[in-house]
């Protein structure tokens, strides 16, 4: 990076260096907070919360203060009128964007949102446990109001939902995202209907049984070994809600084990590997600046889904990996790789729960949330009407109506975090995963054969070269175009699922 | 704390509150760094170091900047002329001390020391591995010089060794410490000689054998259970160099297991429990200010040694705990509690290594280091002469002469950290442990019987009430006098070891 910094135009070596020092400081504080969060989820004793909450709040306010300080603004202005390398300009662009957003929202509002969401979490949890939407409704109303206010501060002229969406996905415009979601809805609904009407009977019980936690952990390590996880820069632990976090020097995976869900622990481990593997592919020398940070949520999710779905749910993967699984669980000896492949790819159109959804219906869960939260933020839908609208949409898109709000509109945690605009990035991630996988197949050829050999180096090399190593140097759309030669498109995802599920369910495609 | 803040004298509620907010912020940054250090020692992947070093360096400089900011100085001045509660005054006293010290040392010198010690560590490690003092000598010279300079900035009129000592033990003056060490030397040397000449033969092989790591861990958890460790605020892990760290909400223990050293893992676990148990006894409501922080190193070490030695190496402890150990290790079935007690209390006057020393010779190891480093800092001893002086002193005090510097003056890491003045706190801790234990026995009576029952609540209650709950409210000498009714004295330690080892070795006392 920055090997050819021009010295013309009063070149700002010193200014840039001062700026970079400040940016790295902020990154170090945030990365320290990341370790504290990992610790809290994975190893912290139960009663550690009061101190941990204060530590995290302090780190968060310090990094906010460092970012929004006048000095940051002055350095940005100076650098924006100076000659910079492309890499430097990218760092300035990214920091400018964060600076503008964080300085435009009054600190009191940030704190009110933070306090409201802190209290919203237990309220949501209780409402879900008691299946009582009315308990949560006032909080949800308050959060909708606060987040609209927040969006207004950032850009009073923009659609507030678009502003919120861009918190998670700054470089894909909402129109593009909406277009993708509409296409998914329009093309997946008939595909799922066709599957529902198909006579094909997939093996459902390949992974039925009880599986010991310790053996599941051993197998999860086998999976990570076989995908090429770098243990010298990572580790595997368990957490109630699996996640991956860290930096290019230390990107950790968590997973969870349930006695009756071996397949779930394998796919979840592969998913989190995809996230960690992206982080590990960021350039070491970029640590501390946006050049060493992952592009945003959609790209991150593309990496987890590429590994989870295009590899972990593929036929050649099970041909290669099943013998290892049989080695750990002799009870699987009669399961064939075809059984395993079918078990990993069943479509359940009567499932109400997003996190248990298959590769196809998943996106209808997302579309429903997207349509509802967009209308909520626009003021076109009242909070009190959410449960009915939710249930109507499930009936319309998936042909199944939730009987309770607990398995309906209260199922997900996101709104209690005030995270409106987050859900679409899940579907964008799947779509981009398919687009990247198709581009890698075009360039490398024979990916199936490599997977069947347990040979992932070439694919991972391609991802490193075309995605990981660039950090945030390019905007998301630039990154996608450079890697795949085209703009973000749902074409490849739809081709992939049509072919895969057409074959699995004997559809006439 | 601070329940009766006076409102007279333009009472500084707002000023104090602003001050407390600042102090808590600093504490939160330091405690965050503590978690990062725990993580580094216990769970961090090997290659995580480059990022971790930057994160820790950033947190350290942020907490330095917050402490030494002009605002801190102004708040201190304002509060020092205001009416404060005793608790508030204690907080101001402690922060003033840190503020004065940190503002008096130029930042360049701090950084030079930090850089020199960072480089000193591998140099020392190599010198020790190769038994080559000359490799380390220039670094040691540099560190002596830098630390003298450092001391001079803090107090140009004081004995520089006293200034360095007070970094670790601010409220015990060096004369007192020196008096204690001299008494230990003068009285322990003849006691050890008498033991050496004794015909008594203690059981040496009670814990001979090979012990599986997992079973050792189970037993370490048994020990912690039996002492009353609060698992909801703690955890046990392994680390190459066992330590304890954390806050009153989350105080963790580490230990280590060696196949042939079951006794070592038990005593080390009890030692670290003592540290963690102190931390857990600090008042919750004091979190973030000195009222919720442990007094300094000698008091901390008194807690670890009280539990390790007065309990873990006592006869009633082994009477109570041996059956549990036998349950985990059936190979111990023929070992009696008397065997275990003797094995845990053997005196080895031919041992050269401090960390392997027994309760008696340990202090001669400390006295030797103290005398050498005091002369080094005073300029009365040249670095090149350290090995010879070291070996002479070992011969004089312990009757054994190191054959190599690796098992002589290169054995400990401390000087490579620039930690001159640290060693005495180990002996002060032992002395204070005996003094506190005697005071608890005076007040509670029958501690032996309670230990034999595995009943530690009363003793721990006494420690909570007399030591733990006060945090840094009192100076060390005040704390000791309030708890024991007398000034720090080696009397109780010497009485304790004379009685204990007199009986063990059939001495005429």
**3-class state of residue A244 by DSSP:** strand
A66 vs A56: CA distance, rounded Å: 15
**Pairwise CB contact (< 8 Å): B249 & A287:** no
Helices marked H in A333-423 — which ranges? Answer: 337-343, 362-378, 386-398
**Chain A contact set for B29 (CB, 8 A):** 58-59, 62
Say what the pLDDT of residue A158 is.
96
DSSP B250: E
Q: What is the per-residue pLDDT for B509?
A: 59
ipTM above 0.85, yes or no: yes
**Least CB–CB distance from B55: residue in A32, A44, A284:** A32
CA distances to A141, A289, A419, B181 from A146, in Å: 9, 31, 11, 65
Q: What is the mean pLDDT of chain B?
A: 95
Total H helices, total E strands in chain B: 20, 3
Q: Among the options B272, B319, B371, B373, which is catalytic? A: B272
- List residues bridging with A255 in a β-sheet: A238
pLDDT for residue A150: 98
Q: What one-character-per-residue DSSP string does A38-85 give?
A: HHHHHT--GGGHHHHHHHHHHHHHHHHHHHHSHHHHHHHHHHHTS---
As a whole number of angstroms, the distance between CA B154 and CA B52 comes to 30
Tokens of B81: 């002329």
To the question of whether residue B468 is assigned a binding role by annotation, the answer is no
Residue count of chain B, please give it.
509
Q: Which residue in A87, A94, A217, A272 is the catalytic one?
A: A272
CB-closest option in B25, B58, B230 to A29: B58
Token pair recorded at residue A266: 């394998």
Answer whether residue B152 shows pLDDT above 90: yes
For residue B248, the chain A residues in CB contact (below 8 A) are 51
Distance CA B89, CA B400 (A): 50
> Which two structure tokens, joined as six digits, stand for B177?
């410490």
Could you tell me which residues come within 8 angstroms of residue B81 by beta carbon, excluding any fewer than 6 positions away? none
A48 in contact with chain B, both atoms CB, cutoff 8 A = yes
Angle subtended by helix axes B386-393 and B133-154, to nearest 10? 90
* Cβ contact B28–A288 (<8 Å): no
Are A55 and B62 inside 8 Å of each other by CB? Answer: no
Contact B29 A58 (CB under 8 A): yes
Picking from A36, A51, A54, A64 by the largest number of B CB atoms within 10 A of its own CB, the best residue to mutate is: A51
Sign of the torsion formed by the C-alpha atoms of A411, A412, A413 and A416: negative
Query: B47, A250: Cβ pair inside 8 Å?
Result: yes
Structure confidence at residue B508 (pLDDT): 79
B238: part of which helix (H) or strand (E)?
strand B236-238
Q: Is B338 a catalytic residue?
A: no
pLDDT, residue B12, reads: 61
- Cβ–Cβ contacts within 10 Å for residue B468, how many? 23
Residue A486: its pLDDT value, please? 97
Q: For all residues of chain A together, what is the average pLDDT? A: 95
* Mean pLDDT along residues B102-109: 95
Question: With an 8 Å Cβ cutoff, is B221 touching chain A?
Answer: no
> Residue A57: is its pLDDT beyond 60?
yes
Closest CA to B184 of B507, B373, B502, B430: B430
pLDDT at A509 over 90: no
Cα A120 from Cα A413, distance rounded (Å)? 10
Six-digit token string for A59: 């780190």
Q: What integer pLDDT is reported at residue A305 of this predicted model?
A: 98
pLDDT of B11 > 60? The answer is no
* A293 inside 8 A of chain B by CB: no
Query: Residue A2's pLDDT is what?
Result: 41
Residue A272 structure tokens: 């989190």
Q: How far apart are CA B169 and CA B175, in angstroms?
A: 12
**Under an 8 A CB cutoff, do A58 and B231 touch?**
no
Cβ burial of B243 (10 Å; 0-12, 13-18, 19+) is middle
Q: Which residues of B touch A247 (CB under 8 A)?
A: 51
List the alpha helices (DSSP H) in B198-295.
Answer: 213-227, 262-281
Q: What's the rounded mean pLDDT across residues A321-343?
A: 96
pLDDT, mean of residues B252-258: 96
A225 to A191, A269, A458, B42, B53: CA distances (angstroms): 36, 11, 16, 22, 28
CB contact under 8 A, B232 and A58: no
Q: Which of A44, A231, A287 sits opposite B51 (nearest CB)?
A: A287
pLDDT in the model for residue B204: 85
pLDDT at A5: 46
Residue A418 has what DSSP assignment? Answer: T
Q: How many CB atoms are located within 10 Å of the residue B186 CB? A: 11
Q: Could you tell me the sign of the dihedral formed by the alpha carbons of A492, A493, A496, A501, in that order?
A: negative
Does B59 contact A247 at a Cβ distance shorter than 8 Å? no
Interface mutation target, options B48, B63, B251, chain A, most CBs of A under 10 Å: B48
pLDDT of residue A13 exceeding 90, the answer is no
pLDDT tens profile B300-309:
999 999 999 9
B22 inside 8 A of chain A by CB: no
The answer for A420, left when phi > 0, alpha when psi is -120 to 50, beta otherwise, is: beta
In this structure, how many other beta carbons lie within 10 angstroms of the beta carbon of residue A482?
13
Instruction: List CB contacts (< 8 A) between A57 and chain B.
Output: 28
End-to-end CA distance of chain A: 48
pLDDT above 90 covers a percentage of chain A that reads 94
d(CA A212, CA A159): 50
Q: CB burial class (10 A; 0-12, 13-18, 19+) of residue A31?
A: buried
Q: A44 and B233: CB-CB below 8 Å? A: no
pLDDT at residue B118 in the model: 87
Q: Does the beta carbon of A59 lie under 8 angstroms from any beta carbon of chain B?
A: yes
How many CA atoms are closer than 13 Å to the CA of B455, on its beta-carbon side?
9
| pLDDT (average), residues B263-279 | 97
Write down the pLDDT at residue A485: 98
Residue A501 CB neighbour total at 10 angstroms: 23
Q: What is the pLDDT of residues A401-442, one digit of tens each?
A: 999 999 999 999 999 999 999 999 999 999 999 999 999 999
Residues of A annotated as binding site for Zn(2+)?
A: 271, 275, 301
Instruction: List b or e across B1-36, with b for residues whose CB sees 16 or more CB atoms inside 10 angstroms.
Output: bbeebeeeeeebeeebeebbebbbbbbbbbbbbbbb
Of A39, A50, A232, the CB nearest to B249: A50
User: Model confidence over B17-27: pLDDT tens digits?
Assistant: 999 999 999 99
Longest CA–CA span in chain B (Å) reads: 73
At B310-322, the pLDDT tens digits run 999 999 999 999 9
Residue range B271-282: average pLDDT? Answer: 98
B231-241: string of b/e by CB count within 10 Å (b at 16+)?
A: eebbbbbbbee
Please say if the pLDDT value at position A183 is more than 80.
yes
The reported pLDDT for the residue numbered B7 is 43
Task: Give the tens place of pLDDT for each residue, A246-294.
Answer: 999 999 999 999 999 999 999 999 999 999 999 999 999 999 999 999 9
On whether any CB of chain B is under 8 Å from the CB of A234, the answer is yes
Q: What is the pLDDT at residue B249?
A: 98
What is the pLDDT, as a whole number, of residue A126? 95
A33 neighbourhood in chain B, CB within 8 Å: 32
Matching residue, tokens 């006032």: A138
- Give the number of other CB atoms < 10 A from CB of residue B348: 17
The domain spans of chain A are 13-104, 213-346+434-473
pLDDT tens for residues A77-133? Answer: 999 999 999 999 999 999 999 999 999 999 999 999 999 998 999 999 999 999 999
A494 touches A179 (CB < 8 A): no
Token pair 């970029």 in the structure block, residue: A286
Per DSSP, the residues of A217-240 read HHHHHHHHHHHT--GGG--EEE-S
């Amino acid at each position: 990076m920055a090997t050819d910094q021009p010295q013309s135009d009063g070149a700002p070596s010193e200014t840039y260096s001062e700026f970079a020092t400040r940016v790295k400081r902020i990154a170090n504080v945030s990365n320290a907070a990341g370790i504290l969060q990992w610790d809290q989820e994975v190893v912290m004793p139960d009663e550690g919360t009061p101190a941990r909450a204060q530590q995290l709040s302090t780190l968060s306010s310090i990094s906010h203060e460092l970012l929004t300080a006048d000095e940051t603004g002055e350095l940005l202005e100076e650098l924006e009128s100076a000659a910079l390398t492309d890499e430097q300009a990218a760092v300035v662009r990214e920091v400018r964007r964060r600076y503008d957003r964080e300085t435009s929202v009054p600190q009191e509002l940030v704190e009110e949102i933070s306090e409201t969401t802190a209290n919203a979490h237990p309220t949501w949890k209780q409402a879900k446990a008691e299946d009582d939407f009315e308990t949560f409704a006032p909080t949800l109303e308050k959060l909708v109001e606060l987040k609209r206010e927040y969006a207004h501060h950032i850009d009073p002229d923009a659609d507030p939902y678009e502003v919120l969406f861009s918190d998670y996905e700054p470089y894909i415009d909402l129109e593009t995202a909406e277009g993708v979601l509409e296409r998914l809805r329009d093309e997946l609904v008939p595909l799922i209907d066709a599957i529902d009407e198909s006579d094909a009977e997939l093996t459902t019980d390949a992974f039925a049984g009880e599986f010991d936690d310790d053996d599941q952990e051993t197998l999860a390590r086998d999976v990570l070994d076989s995908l090429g996880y770098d243990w010298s820069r990572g580790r595997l632990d368990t957490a109630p809600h699996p996640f991956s976090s860290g930096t290019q020097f230390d990107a950790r995976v968590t997973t969870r084990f349930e006695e009756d869900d071996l397949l779930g622990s394998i796919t979840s481990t592969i998913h989190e590997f995809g996230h960690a593997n992206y982080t590990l592919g960021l350039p070491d020398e970029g640590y501390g600046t946006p050049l060493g940070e992952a592009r945003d949520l959609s790209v991150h999710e593309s990496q987890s889904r590429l590994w989870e779905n295009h590899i972990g749910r593929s036929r050649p993967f099970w041909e290669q990996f099943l013998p290892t699984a049989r080695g750990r669980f002799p009870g699987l000896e009669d399961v064939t790789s075809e059984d395993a492949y079918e078990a990993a790819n069943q479509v359940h159109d009567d499932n109400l729960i997003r996190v248990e959804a298959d590769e196809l219906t998943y996106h209808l869960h997302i579309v429903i949330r997207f349509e509802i939260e967009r209308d909520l933020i626009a003021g076109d839908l009242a909070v009190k009407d959410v449960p009915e609208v939710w249930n109507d949409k499930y009936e319309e898109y998936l042909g199944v109506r939730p009987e309770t709000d607990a398995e309906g509109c209260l199922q997900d945690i996101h709104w209690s975090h005030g995270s409106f605009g987050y859900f679409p990035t899940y579907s964008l991630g799947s779509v981009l995963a398919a687009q990247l996988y198709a581009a890698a197949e075009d360039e490398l050829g024979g990916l199936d054969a490599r997977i069947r050999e347990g040979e992932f180096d070439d694919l991972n090399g391609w991802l490193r070269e075309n995605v990981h190593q660039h950090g945030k140097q390019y905007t998301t759309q630039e990154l996608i175009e450079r890697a795949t030669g085209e703009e973000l498109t749902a074409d490849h995802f739809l081709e992939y699922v049509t072919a895969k599920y057409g074959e699995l369910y004997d559809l006439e495609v």
